[in-house]
Each structure stands twice: as C-alpha cells, then as structure tokens.
C-alpha cells in the first residue's frame, strides 16, 4: 500500500508556493496522491511564538533575497509581492469550499492559480474579491464561493484542520507528512523524493 | 580574481557541523580558499531574539529527527550529543588561538576534530579540559592553548569577530558569504556550488 502525501501550507508562504509547483509531479513520479491542506500559520505561530521570516530581526533582507534567488534557481515564476505577508483566511477557505464542492483536482487548480496570483502577479489574495475573481476565472461560481467562504462551517473547518495539523506536529510551511516521516521546508523535497524512491530514508 | 569563501559557524550547531564536512572539498573543486570564522550564536541570538531550534516550541522533536535523518542521508557520522546545546566559547577561542599561532590548516584540523568529538563521540566541548585534550591529540601544546583560551586578547577577538559577522548580516549557522552573496544553512550548499560553478546565481 502506498500512502498519501499530506501537504500542509499557508497561502502567504513563499516556500509553500515553491513546493506547490513541484509536489504534484513529484508524487506522480512515484505513484502517490497528494492531499492538500491549506492552513493558517498565524494560528500556529501563536503557539510556537514564531513569525514570518521577513519580520524576524536581522533576517528580513536575507529572506527576501533568498525567496528571489531560490525561485530563480528552480525556475519558478516569482516577483516580490507588493505587501507581505497577507491574511490568507479567504484563500484557504475558498480552497476548502472548492475541495468540498468541486473535488480535489479543481481545488488544486485554484490553489496554484492563487499562489501564482500573489507571488507572481502581485494580486493581494488577502482580499476576498480578488479570491473570487481567481475562482471565477477558473469557471467557478463566485457568488456561491463567497457564500462558502463566509459560512460558519468552512470557517470552523479551517480552524479545526489547522489544529489537527498542529496535533500531527505541523509547525511551518510547507510541511509534508508521508509514510510516517515529517519534512519541513521546500529544501527538504530532495529527502521526500529519496523516501518515495527507496521506501526508506 | 576569485574570492575567499567566508564560512561562519558555531561549534554547537549541527548544520554547521554538517557544512564543515563539505566546505573544504567544495571550495577545492572550484579553486577557492575557505576562511573559517568560529562565532558565538548566543551573542547573535540576543539581538535576533532567536534560540536553538530544539528549544523552540513545537520544533524540538522535529529538529532532533532532522539532524539525524539529514546526517544519514549525506553519510555524515552523527550521534545525538548527550547534552545539547553546549557553550562553545572554549572551542571557538581554541580555534582562534590555533589560527593565530599554528595557521589555518591546523586550525581547520582542530575544528573538524572538535565538531566530530561533540556530534559523534559525545564529548562535551563546552568543557575546556575536553577541548585541550582534542588539541593535544593533534600534537598541540595543551597548556599554551589553555593560556590562549583564557587570554583577554582571544576573548575580545571572539566577541569582536562575532559582531563583525553580524555587521555583515550573519544571523545563523552555518552562514556562508562569497562573491557578495550570503547563504544561510547547510541546505543552501547546492546554491553555493552553483555560484562557484557558474560565476553567478
């Protein structure tokens, strides 16, 4: 039996974005499925006392430079967003609503479009109207999506799912759990690949 | 002109240890020299408000597992030290004294031995006597070294060098600066190599 790859990420995480451009093809190479888990790092940071890299003393300039250099190195379309970070409740809830109502494939299509909108096109995905526009460009019903985003059910699900992730040890983005092993960071994908390839690491 | 690779590290940093096992051969492949800069992360953490990964809420277990898994993956001899982290003043000062009195090559030999002692043999390098033993096993005069470690000059130099590193943007271990580019982390060595190989990144 081959296990699902659990892919946890926050829509405001550049390394999460980088991983999102690779995870599906990586999984496909080894016959695996990916379960995408949008989450709110903000909730986790409240418990861990952490914060975005760019806000950490001494690390800010380095972090922005590393985002750009790492994207260039891996040939990922990236431009520094006009505002960073942004609140990602609307985007995460939208993805969850699409997962529930239109299936995982459509939700992944949305996630990739939203990530690219923010980290390449400079569209502020903290804004619900921008999120609705991204969804409607994919043929989704923007009004129904907005109702979904604002429903108590989806709001609760995002909170609960984030807490479930934390309970499994998730503390950053991207965070990958597969075959009982946990990996934090875009720069651990080579180890994820080794595990998928060799069955152990 | 080919520039020197400035390699900053703390002797209590596992990823610094991992990088120390690779940096010389990496530099040699591209005709570069490495300048080793032992420093005190503790001083930097006071400014950055950071702390060792293993002490961060939620991250501790993951960090220990990642040390072990990453070492195994890269075929680096590693065993979890009995106490982590340890104070590294004595080791860093010893290396500086050897650099000043016996040259860089001997100092690097010492640094590698000290790192391996701590991260593989379980020897607590926070203890000056253990540091002196490591040095004397390399044919150095332990008594002269202890005098050096305790001299005001070396103490001051370690503090000053750490501050000079900070002024260049160093905030973690390992930290590499070469040709005007800064890289944080063992997991950026592939980018350092690309820079050395292609002359740009």
Write the pLDDT tens digit of every residue in A153-189.
999 999 999 999 999 999 999 999 999 999 999 999 9
Are B132 and B145 in contact, with CB atoms under 8 Å apart?
yes
Q: What is the pLDDT of residue B1?
A: 44
Place of tokens 């492949």: B29
| pLDDT tens profile B167-192 | 999 999 999 999 999 999 999 999 99
Q: Does A59 touch chain B (CB under 8 A)?
A: yes
Q: How many CB pairs under 8 A join A and B?
A: 65
Task: Give the three-state DSSP class for B13.
Answer: coil
Q: Does A54 touch chain B (CB under 8 A)?
A: no
Measured between beta carbons, the chain A residues lying within 8 angstroms of B47 are: 57-58
Two structure tokens written together for B164: 């000079």
Q: Give this prediction's pTM.
A: 0.95
Are A131 and A90 in contact, with CB atoms under 8 Å apart?
yes
Task: Give the three-state DSSP class for B191.
Answer: helix
Average pLDDT over residues B98-104: 97
| pLDDT tens profile B16-71 | 999 999 999 999 999 999 999 999 999 998 888 888 888 888 899 999 999 999 99
Q: What is the pLDDT of residue A1?
A: 44
Two structure tokens written together for A118: 């923010």
B62/A171 touch (CB, cutoff 8 Å), yes or no:
yes
Cα-Cα-Cα-Cα dihedral of B12, B17, B18, B19, to 10°? Answer: 110
Q: Which residue of B has its CA nearest to A168?
A: B58
CA A66/CA A78 separation, integer angstroms: 12
| ipTM tops the 0.95 cut | no
Place of tokens 């479930």: A164
CA B20/CA B139 separation, integer angstroms: 21
Write down the mean pLDDT value for chain B. 96
The H-or-E segment that residue A67 falls in is helix A60-73
B56/A49 touch (CB, cutoff 8 Å), yes or no:
yes
Give B71→chain A minimum CA distance, Å: 11
Q: Does B167 touch chain A (CB under 8 A)?
A: no
For residue A47, give the nearest of B58, B62, B187 by CB distance: B58
For residue B48, give the nearest of A56, A69, A184 by CB distance: A56
Is residue A134 very low, low, confident or very high in pLDDT (cuts 50, 70, 90)?
Answer: very high
Average pLDDT over residues B144-163: 97
| pLDDT tens profile A82-122 | 999 999 999 999 999 999 999 999 999 999 999 999 999 99
Longest CA span, chain B: 46
B62/A194 touch (CB, cutoff 8 Å), yes or no:
no
Pairing state between β B34-38 and B5-9: parallel
Are B11 and B91 in contact, with CB atoms under 8 Å apart?
yes
Measured between beta carbons, the chain B residues lying within 8 angstroms of A62 are: 169, 171, 182, 184
| pLDDT tens profile A54-78 | 888 889 999 999 999 999 999 999 9
């Amino acid at each position: 039996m081959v296990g699902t790859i659990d892919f946890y990420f926050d829509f405001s995480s550049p390394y999460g974005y980088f991983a999102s451009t690779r995870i599906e093809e990586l999984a496909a190479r080894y016959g695996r499925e990916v379960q995408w888990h949008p989450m709110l790092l903000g909730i986790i940071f409240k418990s861990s006392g952490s914060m975005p890299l760019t806000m950490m003393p001494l690390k800010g300039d380095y972090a922005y430079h590393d985002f750009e250099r790492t994207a260039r190195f891996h040939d990922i379309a990236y431009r520094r967003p006009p505002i960073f970070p942004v609140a990602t409740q609307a985007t995460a809830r939208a993805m969850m609503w699409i997962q529930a109502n239109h299936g995982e494939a459509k939700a992944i299509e949305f996630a990739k479009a939203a990530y690219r909108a923010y980290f390449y096109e400079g569209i502020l995905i903290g804004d619900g109207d921008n999120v609705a526009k991204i969804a409607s460009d994919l043929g989704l019903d923007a009004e129904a999506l907005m109702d979904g985003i604002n429903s108590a059910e989806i709001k609760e699900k995002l909170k609960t799912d984030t807490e479930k992730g934390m309970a499994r040890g998730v503390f950053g983005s991207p965070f990958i759990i597969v075959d009982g092993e946990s990996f934090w960071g875009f720069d651990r994908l080579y180890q994820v690949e080794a595990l998928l390839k060799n069955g152990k690491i």
